[in-house]
Amino acid sequence: MRAAPPRGQAPQRHQLATAAATKDSRTLVVMSLYAAYAANLDARLMSRRAPHSPLRGTGWVNDWRLTFGGEQMGWEGALATVVEAPVAQVFVALYDIAPMDEESLDRWEGVGMGIYRRTKVRVHTLDGETTAWCYVLNGYEGGLPSARYLGDIADAAESAGAPHDYVMEIRKRPC
């Protein structure tokens, strides 16, 4: 799945059922589709956080924008989040998240502590539209990320194949 050009919307529910072969039988494993943004665009990072969850492709979440908030919650400045915003877009990597990785990813993102929550978003790819979930910060927008965190996010976007202008917009943000 490749990233789609901007715009166009039509909802579509997605859950991928994958048959995982075992020695004597087949087991049906339901994978949920996760739209990763910010530092989670880094495939190496995601392979550590969700080792059983393959990268499916990239796309855009239209009418949302990348921003920062929860400065008091972060270990080093404000945390990345997405908020609804007309005409804006967020570049995402799509992962088929295995059930065994969902819990550890939720723990890593602080879902149980109330730092982030999951929300559903429409993702536009060159193959069409799909619905995925992403993490949204449970905090007010505002605050600045650290220079290191912002650099990590820009590097992750670049390595995931985000367009140069998108990466440069991240690099130019105040920190």
pLDDT tens digit sequence for 1-34: 545 554 443 333 333 333 333 344 455 556 799 9
The predicted model scores a pTM of 0.83
The residue with greater pLDDT, 13 or 86, is 86
d(CA 36, CA 30): 19
Return the H-helix or E-strand segment holding 130. strand 128-137
Burial of 13 (0-12, 13-18, 19+ CB in 10 A): exposed
Confidence band of 119 (pLDDT split at 50, 70, 90): very high
pLDDT digits (tens, 9 = 90+) for 90-116: 999 999 999 999 999 999 999 999 999
Q: Would you state the pLDDT for residue 31?
A: 77
CATH 3.10.490.10 fits 16-171, yes or no: yes
Are 29 and 15 spatial neighbours (Cβ–Cβ below 8 Å)? no
